[in-house]
Amino acid sequence: MTSLRPTLFAALLSGLMVLPAWASELPPQVVAVRDGWADVKYQVPADQRSTAFEALAKKAGAAVAQQPRSAEALIWEGIVLASWAGEKGGLGALGLVKKARKDFEAAIAIDPAALEGSAYTSLGSLYYQVPGWPVGFGDDDKARDFLMKGLQANPDGLDSNYFFADFLREQGDYAGAEAAARKALAAKPRPGRERADAGRRAEVEALLKAVQAELASG
């Protein structure tokens, strides 16, 4: 990443998540954080989301404290922190995304396959959306590497393909972004995750429309 994102953290990972279909396999504290994320992201008004994510981050931290070796708990804490950073905006969000990065790295060290490789996709999303040096740690090469690992773990996933499509759009690969977005829309529904699926699909559809406009313009 060679330049700062125009909005810095204004839109940073406000939609970051990689959700498994199997709620029953997660500890109840992690399920509560996961479901709380969807509620805040897709139900809470925009001007209240930062405060809501701050409160949810405390619950996510408690879940990690109770199960420090749970890759799933670490992944969800990272997702909440990154989403909070996106709502908070500005340089003050940098500490949150650095903590999120540590969570994802720790989850990979414990179990890289957890939540269908979600930590890889989440980490890749951080690397392409966070500003590069000297402000942040953003790096498009690392982003691509982690996003590809996420796709290897979950090739047909809604989120893994969405974030890859978004990354390709930022790289100017509109044809590749269109293909990835279409694959995301073809993903199977996730039982019990109807609200999250609906919100994510709306984001994919918006991305696809924007990409198609770029392709049509030249």
Q: What is the pTM of this model?
A: 0.88
Q: Which two tokens mark 118? A: 């979600």
Helix, strand and coil percent figures for the chain, each rounded to 5:
70, 0, 30
Q: What is the CA radius of gyration of the chain?
A: 16
pLDDT of residue 59: 98
Check residue 89 and give left, alpha or beta (phi > 0: left; psi -120 to 50: alpha): left
All structural domains of the chain, each given as residue ranges with its CATH number in brackets, are: 23-154 (1.25.40.10)
* Residues in the chain, pLDDT under 50: 1-12, 14, 17-24
Output the CA–CA distances (angstroms, integers) from residue 6 to 12, 49, 169, in the order listed.
11, 21, 15
Sheet strands (E) in 42-158: none
Q: 204 burial class (0-12, 13-18, 19+ CB within 10 angstroms)?
A: buried
pLDDT of residue 25: 77
Q: Which two tokens mark 52? A: 């809501």
